[in-house]
Chains A and B, each alone.
Chain A
């Protein structure tokens, strides 16, 4: 498990789960990821935290991009559930949300988020955050 964590690199063939209750936003994030070179068929979607968690437990994914405000299970609850699950706890999670108040950003950081993007954002911002996440993961893997 730990080795796998260290091995994580920004690979264009990674399996990504996009979680958002708005179908428009899921499509936009997918579109941007494809524009950045990720493989369209490897991107999957879920419309809330519950659905996402079920998918994550059933199939291996390499990264989660999630919204915060969703019915049933919010993004922060999903993040906490991921970190609490031994099989999933080292999965990189990028939060893409309209919530930009201090408390929420701190809560996400404390729950172990890997990156945080405030909507609306550009493809350049998305690329920067993804690069940073995988740089940091590679560095922590190398030092471990």
Chain B
């Protein structure tokens, strides 16, 4: 760096920093720099801690609001409800597939019976012949419709996969939140409690938070 550039950079700095930069005492410079960085980090971690605390408070309030309105009291209940959604949609899909299994042989038998009638048919103008032909068209439309019905049930699997993703998202939000609280507490210089992963009840969560002064 040239002397002119150094001078230009110095111009833009607060006086105490400029004094430090120009100081010949290397150890004092290091100390002052450390103190500045620590002060900044401390503010940042405090801010993060408060943020985590607020976020946790917001989640708790949301939980109690939901409880007052008679909807799921906790995330566990929410997960159970989603599991029920999975179960019910699976049952509905299986009922539809049962129906297809029952109706498919009926359609095949109808088509075979119509073919047998046509075997004996003497004239195309015979009403029985016309009916038998219509019956075959109907039976084949039924078979096609039943096949479509089977395929449509695969949406249950796709919807179920989305539900499973939401369940794991809820779990990750819970554990990330706790991890954030633990991390901010640890960075702020407090001892990290052991076995944080096992925290489950609301009391434990609150105790953990208070250990970090939030």
Contacts and interface: CB of A to CB of B under 8 A. Distances in A.
Interface of A: 20, 22-25, 27-28, 31-32, 35, 69, 98, 119-123
Given A20-B157, A22-B156, A28-B153, 20 more contacts: A22-B90, A22-B157, A23-B94, A24-B90, A24-B153, A24-B157, A25-B157, A27-B97, A28-B97, A28-B150, A28-B151, A31-B97, A31-B100, A31-B150, A32-B150, A32-B151, A35-B150, A98-B157, A119-B154, A123-B147
B158 interface: yes
A118 to B, nearest CB: 10
Nearest to B158: A98
B138 interface: no
Nearest to B162: A98
Contacts, number: 50
A120 B161 CA distance: 13
B153 A23 contact: no
Contacts of A27: 94, 97
Interface string B135-169: 00000000000010011111111101100000000
B97 A122 contact: no
B154 A120 contact: yes
Most buried by B among A20, A22, A23: A22
B97 A120 contact: no
Contacts of B178: none
Contacts of B90: 22-24
A120 B47 CA distance: 47
Contacts of A28: 97, 150-151, 153-154, 157
29 contacts: A20-B157, A22-B90, A22-B156, A22-B160, A24-B90, A24-B160, A25-B154, A25-B157, A27-B94, A28-B97, A28-B150, A28-B153, A28-B154, A28-B157, A31-B97, A31-B150, A32-B150, A32-B151, A69-B161, A98-B158, A98-B161, A119-B157, A119-B158, A120-B151, A120-B154, A120-B158, A121-B151, A121-B154, A122-B151
A31 B154 CA distance: 12
A108 B147 CA distance: 29
Contacts of B93: 24
Q: Which 7 A-B pairs have the closest CB atoms?
A: A25-B157, A24-B93, A22-B157, A120-B154, A24-B156, A31-B150, A28-B154
